[in-house]
Structure 1
Amino acid sequence: MQTLRQRIHTLLDQQTLWRFLLAVSILAILFLATTSDDYPVPASSSDKVNHLIAFVELTILARLSWPGLRLGWLALPLLAFGLAIEMIQSQLPYRDFALGDLIADASGIALGLLPWPGLNRRYRGRPDQPFSD
């Protein structure tokens, strides 16, 4: 019987699952960032907090999807995605480009790059090792 630690490592090693969830998240964020409709989704009253949370999530999912990739190679495409959203919004009559949103995205990426238990690539596939970064 597997221990809880082994089960967690098995889950963390499901890169196909994490890549699927990352793709779904990207599509959902892109839709929410470009729609003119109000949708009842859990959100903060602060748009900047929403950006921060979204990009922490994207960064963690990217880290789980590609655990051996250097963190900079994860951060750059995510920041480019944030910039692309702002560029698209600048072309929409009901949205605006906001540098503050891009700063919140970058802050979310930075938080997502912090050491998180279980995300350290040194211990991938080694359930006998502790969760530490």
Structure 2
Amino acid sequence: MLEFILRPSPYQRRLGQSLLLLALLVISYLVFSRPGYGQPFSHFDKLGHFGAFFCLAALLQWATNAPPWRQLLWLGGYALMIEVIQSRLPYRHGDMIDMAADMIGASTFYLCLWGLRRWQGR
């Protein structure tokens, strides 16, 4: 079903690495640039954080052969770096709740992956 995530070929892993790099560049641009958009409702940006890190976790799984706990550490470091840099930008602010949304999004991916592996193992 999702063999490219569960057991990617070397070509698929290289493709995953390229897409991960592209996603990191796009997300970094978005989180460090001056926001030019409104929010349709309060805390709407938390959904963006959740979704971005869910996708980053999927791409990291696809791109590497590292265990999920290590991938979560890498993603946690990236999330922390984002908030530290944003806290130093005059038009942004660092928010640990954003980091929590990041890690909940990534953790949700790994829970889904665990469930998929258990389901396929039956």
TM-score (norm: length of structure 1): 0.74
Which of 106, 122, 131 does residue 103 from structure 2 map onto?
A: 106
User: Would you say the 8 A contact 1:44–1:50 is kept in 2?
Assistant: no
The residue correspondences of 1:19-38 to structure 2 (distance < 5 A) are: 19-38=17-36
- Aligned ranges for residues 44-123 of structure 1 at < 5 Å? 46-66=44-64, 68-116=65-113, 120=117
For the pair shown, the structure with the greater C-alpha radius of gyration is 1
SS at match of 2:83: helix
The answer to whether the Cα contact below 8 Å between 1:16 and 1:65 also exists between their aligned partners in 2 is yes
Q: What is the one-letter code of the residue matched to 1:104?
A: A
Check whether the contact 2:4–2:62 (CA below 8 A) recurs between aligned residues: no
- Please say if 1:9 is aligned against 2:20: no
Alpha-carbon distance in structure 1 between the residues aligned to 2:46 and 2:21 = 22
When normalised by structure 2's length, the TM-score is 0.80
Give the aligned residue type for 1:107. I
* Contiguous gaps of at least 5 residues in structure 1: 121-130
Q: 1:29–1:132: structure 2 CA closer, same or farther, 3 Å change rule?
A: same
Which one has a larger percent helix, Structure 1 or Structure 2? 2
The CA deviation string for residues 53-84 of structure 1, in whole angstroms up to 9 with x for no partner, is 00000001111111x32111111011110110
For residues 26 and 111 of structure 1, the distance between their equivalents in structure 2, rounded to whole angstroms, comes to 19
